[in-house]
Amino acid sequence: MISHLAVFRWHDDVDPADVERLCAALATLPAQIPELASYRFGPDLGLRAGNADFGVLAQLPDAAAVATYLDHPAHQDVVRTFTSVMVAQRATVQFVSG
């Protein structure tokens, strides 16, 4: 299994309503992208100073499934509509996790 982690820091003008719309869009992806073995996301809880604003955790069976997810039209639509506009800083990684 491969864990895909994405950590975002928002632009200053992003508000909770934007984040809610993003979450609603992300929630539609598992049904459209069956390669997603698990898909979790959410706003930072504010437990530690210096944290970023939002995290996405996708579990996928292999590298091909990672590519399918990242390049999927539904995912690209979310990137185009939301994250490419909202995200000031992004950090992503994929590693073998089991």
In the complex, which residues of this chain contact a second copy (CB under 8 A)?
Answer: 2-3, 5, 7, 9, 40-45, 47-48, 50-55, 57, 63, 66-67, 70, 89, 91-98
CB of 78 to a second copy, least distance (A): 16
Minimum separation from the CB atom of position 13 to a second copy (A): 20
User: 1 or 85: whose CB is closer to a second copy?
Assistant: 1
Longest dimension (CA), the chain: 38
Tokens 């995912």 -> residue: 75
- Cα(86)–Cα(17) distance, integer angstroms: 12
